[in-house]
Amino acid sequence: DTPDFREIARARGLVVTNSSSVYASACAEHAVAFLLGAARRLPDALASRAANGSMDWKRLRAESRTMAGQKVVLLGYGGIARELVKRLAGFDMEMVAIRRRPTGDEAVRTVPPDRLAAELADADHVMNLLPDNAESRGSVDIEMFSAMKPGVVFHNIGRGTTVDQGALLDALRSGHVAEAWLDVTDPEPLPDDHPLRAEPRCFITPHIAGGHGDESRALLRHFLSNFRRFMSGAPLVDRVM
């Protein structure tokens, strides 16, 4: 996904697809797990139990929240976001998606980037689903974190390169961002001595959001289905060019 490749593909009239739909559902479920983990204080509860701290239950109950009424801002409205919206529908959350060009047929309220700051100002969660490209790289920066309300929970299921990790680290240390839940980082794997690893309110999974036991077979089924479509002249799934 580089400008050089796209230029060559266009010049040669190539059709390009990817396999994003294979991963969208699993990524959406991982995002739900992040949201639930934050709301229900799962890291604290598990750590307390591991330390044999069962008497901590009163504090943990008091600090837990339901997802109902919480607001989540989705950065991006691609396949993962659409699957996530379906899964969050039963939680009675307020959902807002940020999309470069809203079409009006989205399943949730969707606004363009010039409305981002206003939406971030009262968001409980910000879910980054942005892909890596020239426009998105480093776009989740100090300005964006500053626009978020104090105590926000930041999640990244998109790409690590889209986040200024220095700005995220500063926001965590100041308490402006209460927690960060990251499935992706830059670089990957994140070095053992990286300061984000030492942050007690930063929870990192090792880029596993899209993974599932049927992944390889699903990729093969996806390829064969698209190959049959290509041979018959039917529209291709997950076409990017």
pLDDT of residue 110: 98
- pTM of the complete model: 0.93
Determine what percent of the chain is predicted with pLDDT higher than 90.
88
CB neighbours of 231 closer than 8 A, spacing ≥ 6?
none
The catalytically annotated residue of 82, 87, 176, 207 is 207
pLDDT (tens digit per residue) in 69-115: 999 999 999 999 999 999 999 999 999 999 999 999 999 999 999 99
Q: Cα angle at 180 between 57 and 86, to 5 degrees?
A: 90
Q: How confident is the model at residue 53 (pLDDT cuts 50, 70, 90)?
A: low
215 a catalytic residue: no
Q: 165-193: string of b/e by CB count within 10 Å (b at 16+)?
A: bebbbebbeeeebebbbbbbbeeeebeee
207 is catalytic: yes
Residue 159 falls in the annotated catalytic set: yes
Residue 12 has pLDDT above 80, yes or no: yes
> Which of 41, 125, 159, 222 does the annotation list as catalytic?
159
Residue with tokens 């794997």: 189
What is the distance between the alpha carbons of residues 241 and 235, in angstroms, rounded to a whole number?
Answer: 12
In the set 115, 173, 188, 221, the catalytic residue is 188
The predicted pLDDT at position 71 comes to: 99
Answer yes or no: is pLDDT of 1 > 70.
no
Q: What is the pLDDT of residues 129-184, one digit of tens each?
A: 999 998 999 999 999 999 999 999 999 999 999 999 999 999 999 999 999 999 99
Looking at residue 7, what is its pLDDT? 87
**Is the preceding omega at residue 131 within 30 degrees of 0, hence cis?**
no
Domains of the chain by residue range: 21-209
Q: Is the dihedral of CA 46, 173, 178, 159 positive or negative?
A: negative
CATH number among 3.30.390.30, 3.40.605.10, 3.30.2420.10, 3.40.50.720, domain 21-209: 3.40.50.720
| 196 pLDDT above the threshold of 90 | yes
